[in-house]
Chains A and B, each alone.
Chain A
Amino acid sequence: MSRHVYVDWRSALSLVGRVVKYLSVPLLIPLFLAVVYGDGILAFAVTIAVALLTGTLLESLYPDDVDIGAREGFLMVAMSWLAVSMVGAIPYVIAGFGTASTVAHPVNALFESMSGFTTTGATVMGDISVETHGEALMLYRQLTQWLGGMGIVVLAVAILPELSVGGAQLMDAEAPGPGIQKLTPRIRETARALWKAYLGITLLEIALLYGLYLTGFAPNMGLYNAVAHGLTTMPTGGFSPEARSIEAFSAIVQWVIIPFMIAAGTNFALFWHVLSGDPKRLFRDDEFQFYVGVLGVLAAAVTGVLFTHGESSIQLVELLSGDLEASARHAAFQVVSIVTTTGYASIDFNGFNEAGTFVIVAAMFIGGSAGSTGGGLKIIRWLVILKVIRRELFVTVHPEAVKPIRLNGKPVAENDIRGIFGFTLIYVVGFVLGTAIIVFDAQRVDLTLSVLEAASASAATLGNIGPGLGIVGPMNNYLPFPPTTKLVMVGLMWLGRLEILPVLVVLTRAYWTS
């Protein structure tokens, strides 16, 4: 029985090809570094060749003008991220070939690449150091996060003229949070405005960090590190070239990075409004207020925990007891890092007591703002869910009451609320299934793993956070898992970055046939 296929998959794949082809352009940066440092030229040259070749081949599937509808948009976005991650895995394999590098294994390479592009920040790199992997490959690792942060498809819409018509579809499928805000009449201008704000803040952070180095406040923050951290803070990525993450830097560096992580978890459309002369818009925004409030409350709670409870397995945490500045700094850093899904750490929170650990785990489910580079469930969904709970309580007493849910004074359509509940449910189911697979697969290969550790790994990959607890803690990595589990996690990261639905919908029969 043959059914008619209603999806124009050729034009979708043709666009995927175009994105893959253009991936070769940013790859010129690590290639240039490789030439400068004289290390890894082959890895990037081959990858650029592969990107150009496969890209052109895919593109030729449908050489005419492409017309992207909603369905093609989902397929194009889902496949773009998969294809880019696959091509992006090649440098790790080639550069590590014949060395002790753990990311040379194809599965590990794919994991690292997907983790990079989805800005998860979970790593399977055994030895995180420039000495082992070379400057070019390490910076490439950070570059994947920076490209993935604002979205490779948004970037494509901003640059490729042929995407201007279907652009809204594509950005809608890719952008985090429910719906997109079109800032200008032309979607291309909107995409460019977002990327400009993104680029501008990244450069500002790099300048500040390097400035701290030049003035002697941050001895370890050389130009390379400043660029590397700038490239991984704004996409809420978390790939630090330092094995000890931000713990390797001075207190002032940690303080400086906190506001940038907060900015990265803020809706970028708000920055656009601020830059177009309406700064009040930022502070009046319901989601932003709630976001800052949540960060403040959680940071205060963890500060209290660190300040008063010294008993800990880790000496450093013990030393925090009674030191208000250090307690507040590490509390704020960890809370902001986890809520925004950046995944940096200024201290190994595995050493927190149970109360502190609980807050960190809870924070994993909050996520950044809609329209930010943050992952997770997103602040805005929680805000709507809380408002709906309040409404339910009111309606119980007054069954006839009609109470629309409002965001920024504007009513939210009941359909959108249903969508938010549906998404949240799917997210939780995905998290539970992910945890189950990780637990069972670990059992299969006799890997010692507590359920909490497995759950944190599932939440950290699905939410694009990066570090979890215990075995996958901020100073450890995902290397011990069997390849099967890693592939599942690759899937979780992919699902998480695209907010599940664009990927899931492509897997349904109705999508293709009716």
Chain B
Amino acid sequence: MSYNNKTIKELHQLLLNKELSVVELTQSVLTDIEKREPVIDAFLSVNIDAALSQAAAIDARGVNPEVLTDGISIGVKDNIVTEGLETTAASKILGGWIPPYNATVADKLAENGLITIGKLNMDEFAMGGSGENSSVKPTKNAWNQTKVPGGSSSGSAASVASGEVRLSLGSDTGGSIRQPAAFNGIVGLKPTYGRVSRFGLIAFASSLDQIGPLTPTVEENAQLLNVISGFDKNDGTSSNIAVPDFTSKIGQDIKGMKIALPREYFGEGIDEKVKEQILAAAKHLEKLGAIVEEVSLPHSKYGVAVYYIIASSEASSNLQRFDGIRYGYRAQDINNLEELYVKSRSEGFGPEVQRRIMLGTFSLSAGSYDKHFKKAGQVRTLIINDFAKVFENYDLILGPTAPTPAWDLGARIDDPIAMYLADLLTIPVNLAGLPGISIPAGFVDGLPVGMQLIGKRYDEETIYQVASAFEATTDFHKHLPVIFGGTK
């Protein structure tokens, strides 16, 4: 018996009514994973024994009626540090590493009774937009296994979309939650920068990284964000702004809501069919009472260039810690210390990670700093100002999540720039620290298309309000891929 079509609210009720035990539920999730994993490849490790013993412990003490997520399973992206569970960021350089501590979000999952069922595949160190940069294996798209699942949270999206697990955590530095959510037809949110602690998230680009939830429905997404949000003394950039109940506006009507459509998000490089679907979605919101108007974000076209300088510069600094000394991969047959660093890193990091370290080091090096790094930081200010200006008059910004649907596995692997451009519409949101969601909004050639809603800082509630109004009056989220029992 599988329960993967039940929302966590429904599961909570079944558990409370004793129609289902936590052990039975956990076993059913393990079976769902076992069935699909041979074609999806979303997991790097499955935590069978510990998950079942946690489940038995919850059964023994009884499910807490006050805690919605008590006894529910979740998949966790492998760049989130989990004590006692191998954590590799899908990199050879961290192969076999068993962390001695938990990320703050991992503690929060445990406090809320969530069972970490396994660690999810990803592009190595979250660098990539297709899932193919995993050093272990490429994850497959839930809708078509010849297509990429998107990235970097490839396993987080494909596992939820294929019915392996109901909830997952991903991380988003330039679109790494929203783009794979779009490619797999599920809901993925990047919270406001500072909303969720980054303590124990293996750092890629610290001024951009955020952990966020991926789920089949909008309400479950808000419920999971409730679990992971909040100030953390271990993360100097986490915010002490009060955490609201993110479901509080779900179900409220959206009459008079002002939604901006940036013309740049419907311009050059955007697939015509994707554009049609998203414009139709905007029309739908208009029918629900929203006021939709065109605006301009004139500097958005520079986002990709700014991002690749800033993110790579921060990465080149963050990834210095991987040197073969204290943990992870160490090269053999070494003559001196310098050689140990160079060989361990050259053998341990994959090609895309090396490319980013090189670009970052170059951008920060003498003679290049002013021309590249400083310039990128200034254009970042202009991108932030563009958003601020629009938000003076609008509640939300709407556009596609990605310029195209999922592409064929292997199609862009030799063309980094084509791969980078896939993040065109998501990157500016990270640069400005804003919250953004992707929700299912159509299909092109049998593949899901995601609509992106971008909100004001710390205004995830309005995003969820509009997203749920859209979901409640459309059928896109009800279509399931064949692997999840759908017919499409």
Bound together = no
